[in-house]
């Protein structure tokens, strides 16, 4: 596989082509396990018609499926040392902690993206106004965290502008992703940042901004094309974004 490329295909198969101990850092946003998304139950039971488009986008992105945890073994195989940020929802936290902390004896931290304007899904449940990012690293991994970059809670509004430009329902703010990469990689010394679930390409673009090599996989052809365009500086409104070149 070539560096600085995004490949279209199934991450569970493509990752087998990635050499052992070739990746410095994984930053990825795998499909969440969102209960009731498909059936319209739980917090989604009484959603208004105006929110149906948002739900359909999440279904298109496969956000009701979760991931096959067997791929975690492949993550460990390809990393030089375990050094990974995993975005997840509440239902996935236990499995990730069990694998990386209980079984692999990693250090860990929980980061939170708190949203001032979350989608108004409730139906008797608390709002989904935060997303979790779990950081796992093993002894010997160099971190570059300081008082400014080491906060664990990021409070912003939902990034509606990015969703409009790049058409992905769970796109993460690129400034947060850049901070994570800088905190956990040697920016001046190069390195490879890997995202097996690329979505709209935020992780790869952040690595590009920082002068690092990147590698990504995306199974959905629509999002694959969006990510490729984005890395070329083109958003889905047909406008050039010079900062992304």
| 177-193 pLDDT per residue, tens | 999 999 999 876 779 99
| Cβ neighbours for 132, distance < 8 A, ≥ 6 positions apart | 87, 88, 89, 90, 93, 110, 111, 112
Given the candidates 3.40.440.10, 3.90.1150.10, 3.40.50.300, 3.40.50.150, the CATH classification of the domain at 5-191+198-203+212-220 is 3.40.50.150
Q: Where are the domains of the chain?
A: 5-191+198-203+212-220
How far is residue 233's CA from residue 88's CA, in Å, rounded to a whole number? 28
At 156 the pLDDT is 84
Q: 108 versus 128: which is more confidently predicted?
A: 108
Helices (H), 79-152: 93-97
How far is residue 57's CA from residue 67's CA, in Å, rounded to a whole number? 18
Tell me, what DSSP letter sits at residue 98? Answer: I
Token pair of 55 as six digits: 């739900």
How far is residue 56's CA from residue 213's CA, in Å, rounded to a whole number? 33
Strand partners, 149: none
Work out whether the CA dihedral 74, 192, 96, 29 comes out positive or negative.
negative
| 140-162 pLDDT per residue, tens | 998 999 988 999 999 987 666 66
At 242 the pLDDT is 43
Query: What does residue 167 show for φ and ψ, rounded to 5 degrees?
Result: 60, 25
SS3 label, residue 112: strand
Average pLDDT of the residues of the chain: 84
| Cβ neighbours for 211, distance < 8 A, ≥ 6 positions apart | 187, 190
State the average pLDDT over residues 190-203: 94
Tell me, what DSSP letter sits at residue 173? Answer: P
Cβ 231 vs Cβ 166: under 8 Å:
no
Query: What does residue 57 show for φ and ψ, rounded to 5 degrees?
Result: -65, -45
List C-alpha distances in Å: 189 to 5, 183, 186, 213, 244: 20, 14, 5, 11, 22
At 233 the pLDDT is 87
At 115 the pLDDT is 84
Q: How many CA atoms lie within 13 A of 9 on its CB side?
A: 13
| Nearest C-alpha neighbor of 184 from the set 142, 133, 147 | 142
pLDDT beyond 90 at 63: no
């Amino acid at each position: 596989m070539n560096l600085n490329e995004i490949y279209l295909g199934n991450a569970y198969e493509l990752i087998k082509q990635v050499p052992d101990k070739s990746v410095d850092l994984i930053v990825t946003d795998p499909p969440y396990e969102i209960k009731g998304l498909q059936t319209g139950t739980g917090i989604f039971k009484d959603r208004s018609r105006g929110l149906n488009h948002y739900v359909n986008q999440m279904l298109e992105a496969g956000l009701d499926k979760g991931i096959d945890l067997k791929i975690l073994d492949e993550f460990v195989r390809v990393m030089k040392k375990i050094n990974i940020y995993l975005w997840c929802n509440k239902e996935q936290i236990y499995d990730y902690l069990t694998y990386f902390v209980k079984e692999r004896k990693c250090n860990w931290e929980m980061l939170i993206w708190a949203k001032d304007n979350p989608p108004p899904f409730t139906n008797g449940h608390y709002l989904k106004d935060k997303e979790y990012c779990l950081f796992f690293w093993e002894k010997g991994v160099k971190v570059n965290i300081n008082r400014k970059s080491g906060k664990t809670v990021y409070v912003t509004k939902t990034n509606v502008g990015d969703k409009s430009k790049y058409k992905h329902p769970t796109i993460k703010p690129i400034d947060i992703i850049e901070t994570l990469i800088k905190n956990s990689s040697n920016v001046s010394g190069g390195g490879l940042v890997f995202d097996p679930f690329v979505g709209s390409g935020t992780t790869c673009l952040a690595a590009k901004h920082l002068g690092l090599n990147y590698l990504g996989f995306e199974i959905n052809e629509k999002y694959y094309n969006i990510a490729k365009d984005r890395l070329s500086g083109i958003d889905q409104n047909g406008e050039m974004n010079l900062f992304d070149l």
